[in-house]
Amino acid sequence: MAENRLIYGILIDVLGKPKKRNESKQQFAFDCPTCSAEKGKDDGDGKGNLEVNLAEGVYHCWACGEINGTKGGLKKLFRKFATKDQVRKLKMVGYNLDDFKSKLKDVNVIEDLTLPKNFISFEEGNPKSILYKQAWNYLTKQRKLSKEIINKFKMGFVSGGQYDSRVVIPSYDINNELNYWATRTYVNARPKYLNPDSDKEQIIFNECCLNWDSDIYLVEGPFDHLVVHNSIPILGKKISDKLMHSLFHKTSANVIILLDSDAWFDSKKHYSKLNVGKLFNRIKVIKMKEGYDIAKIQEDFGRQGVIDVMKSAYKLKESEL
């Protein structure tokens, strides 16, 4: 508790006086530095949207989505906003940021990422080759993807090497630079999916194809993403800090959560986290039929089946959360 009081004092140095205080819960609300900077208000925007819980060592801005996530906690907040003098004060009370800084350096982000060796795009490959036909048939006959989708997302396959007999779904950032890719075997090899050794939480998959001003669908995997217009695959069931921030900061329409049928609990958790601040009342959810994901809907019911599912989005009642 004594250490928390010292840290609280430095927190006031960094963020200014709190707008709200709950001493029993050790929870305090401050003006968010990110929001204030965007509005050109050096002394704070007066909203008090950044909540800090000293007991748990976490923080979150309910307006812009500035969030600690799973790494760093308050150390991340101090590392981002504290001055050198304030960092020295933290060290004097035993709150060392050096260990957090070293952890940040360990995050593996491949800056000059390239497509897998021996990658062949379907647009440039030889349709008469056996490997081309195998990969093409997997996508068009089994996955029921159209030629337009395959070419739109610059898909291809790999001939030989570590990623042999796999289709490749590349991801490009807002500047059309390659930032990630996913591969999927079409010959039942293990593992089914094999992706680059890069931190997927640091990217937004295929942001190049995204319109932040239209309804955005959050889906689980890359194949779900291929069949849902204006979607972001979260590459699992967890929304990354980067994506969370972007949704709060960039989205001007609705956000629809469309996860697999076995992720209904996760869907409701994401709904609660997103349905605040700028996104309040703009979050919807889709409950999938048991045993289905949206890619499987495409395979079994075609494009019309996907459209019907997308039309079923609705807002949850408080009693459902």
- Please report the DSSP string for 190-236 in residue order: SSSEE--SS-GGG--TTGGG--TTS-EEEESSHHHHHHSTTEEE-SS
Q: What is the pLDDT of residue 141?
A: 97
| Co-location of 319 and 221 in the same domain | yes
| Co-location of 219 and 258 in the same domain | yes
Q: What is the pLDDT of residue 102?
A: 42
Interatomic CA distance for residues 306 and 302, integer angstroms: 7
Q: Which of 55, 102, 103, 51 is nearest to 77 (CA)?
A: 51
Q: What is the pLDDT of residue 261?
A: 95
Interatomic CA distance for residues 39 and 19, integer angstroms: 18
Ramachandran angles phi, psi of 199, nearest 5°: -75, 105
CATH code at 77? 3.90.580
- 3-state DSSP of 23-86: CCCCEEEECCHHHHHHCCCCCCCCCCCEEEECCCCEEEECCCCCECCCCCCHHHHHHHHCCHHH
Please indicate, yes or no, whether the overall pTM of this predicted structure exceeds 0.75. no
| Co-location of 214 and 204 in the same domain | no
Out of 157, 189, 208, a domain closes at 208
| Co-location of 137 and 194 in the same domain | yes
Interatomic CA distance for residues 262 and 247, integer angstroms: 24
Long-range contacts: 271-278, Cβ < 8 Å, 24+?
271/316, 271/321, 272/321, 273/239, 273/244, 274/239, 274/244, 274/247, 276/62, 277/49, 277/61, 277/62, 277/63, 277/64, 277/65, 277/248, 278/63, 278/64, 278/248, 278/251
User: Would you tell me how many other CB atoms lie within 10 Å of the CB of residue 266?
Assistant: 18
Residues 6+ apart with CB under 8 A from 203: 171, 173, 179, 180, 242
Out of 49, 78, 106, a domain closes at 106
CATH code at 297? 3.40.1360.10
Structural domain of residue 117, as residue ranges?
109-208
Helix (H) or strand (E) holding 1: none
| Co-location of 235 and 202 in the same domain | no
| Co-location of 140 and 199 in the same domain | yes
| Co-location of 58 and 148 in the same domain | no
- Determine if residue 281 is left, alpha or beta; phi over 0 gives left, psi from -120 to 50 gives alpha, anything else beta: left
| Co-location of 97 and 162 in the same domain | no
Interatomic CA distance for residues 172 and 178, integer angstroms: 4
pLDDT tens for the chain, 321 residues long, are 556 778 888 889 889 999 999 988 889 999 988 777 766 677 788 889 888 888 888 888 876 666 665 445 788 888 888 887 888 888 877 777 665 444 444 445 556 799 999 999 999 999 999 999 999 999 999 999 999 999 999 999 999 999 999 999 999 999 999 999 999 999 988 888 988 888 888 899 999 999 999 999 999 999 999 999 999 999 988 899 899 999 999 999 999 999 999 999 999 999 999 999 899 999 999 999 999 999 999 999 999 999 999 999 999 998 888
| Co-location of 96 and 31 in the same domain | yes
CATH code at 141? 3.90.980.10
**Helices 84-92, 74-81: inter-axial angle, 10-degree rounding:** 140
- Say if CB 295 and CB 220 are below 8 A apart: no
Total count of domains within the chain: 3
First to last CA, the chain: 34
| Co-location of 38 and 21 in the same domain | yes
| Co-location of 221 and 311 in the same domain | yes
| Co-location of 236 and 199 in the same domain | no
Out of 91, 106, 121, a domain closes at 106
Q: What is the pLDDT of residue 295?
A: 97
